[in-house]
A and B are shown apart, each in its own frame.
Chain A
Amino acid sequence: DTAVSQTPKYLVTQMGNDKSIKCEQNLGHDTMYWYKQDSKKFLKIMFSYNNKELIINETVPNRFSPKSPDKAHLNLHINSLELGDSAVYFCASSQGFSGRAEDTQYFGPGTRLTVL
């Protein structure tokens, strides 16, 4: 069984379009995250939800809107896509959000977004 799954794996779209990426975890974790990995492989946190509540909201354009319908799901909707949004987006989950060892984060396989 896949612990953290994301769909789609690849997403190619035109500038200006709106798209969504879905994430599901079956680990029973309370916390979920969205990360962006750029072309230089730098991984940066975007958002984090704990029990469906937003706890981390980094400096991300308003075009990005996360939605957590329940603890096991965290989706990412992106409006008016721009060329600079092209990256790999990773979902992750952990039990808590302390940053300590007991709250290890488990990552999904990533969604490669290409904006043309």
Chain B
Amino acid sequence: TQLLEQSPQFLSIQEGENLTVYCNSSSVFSSLQWYRQEPGEGPVLLVTVVTGGEVKKLKRLTFQFGDARKDSSLHITAAQPGDTGLYLCAGGADSSYKLIFGSGTRLLVRP
């Protein structure tokens, strides 16, 4: 069974601080996606990474796919209250028709 563990589960930081969220698995994925979900809404895709070692930047967010394609990280620089939400990683595999979602990280950025 493929599992994706995210850490930390909860993170409460002050505006302006930096943070990193991790997504780890013992399985190899062909792609890894990061979503952000706000209260009362569905998850919204932020980025997809497909190549081992790939780094993608989205303004203050930096996403990295591990060399072995088993893990990923999301780094936020100078966090803002608008970054508050639930961050979900999801892995896709060529051998499967479904996305495996991580356990989620709840981020609260205090003004």
Contacts and interface: CB of A to CB of B under 8 A. Distances in A.
Interface in B75-111: 86, 88, 91-94, 96-99, 101, 103-104, 106
Given A100-B50, A101-B31, A106-B45, A45 B86 contact: no
Interface stretch (B11-19, B20-28, B35-43): B35-43
A38 B68 CA distance: 31
Interface string A35-74: 0000011111100100000011000000000000000000
Contacts of A100: 30-31, 50, 92, 94
Contacts, number: 69
Interface string B34-68: 01010011111100101000000000000000000
A30 to B, nearest CB: 12
Interface in A18-45: 40-45
A48 B98 contact: yes
Chain A contact patch, size range: 20 to 34
B97 A97 contact: yes
A99 B94 contact: yes
7 tightest Cβ-Cβ pairs between the two chains A and B: A99-B92, A107-B42, A43-B101, A101-B48, A101-B31, A97-B97, A41-B104
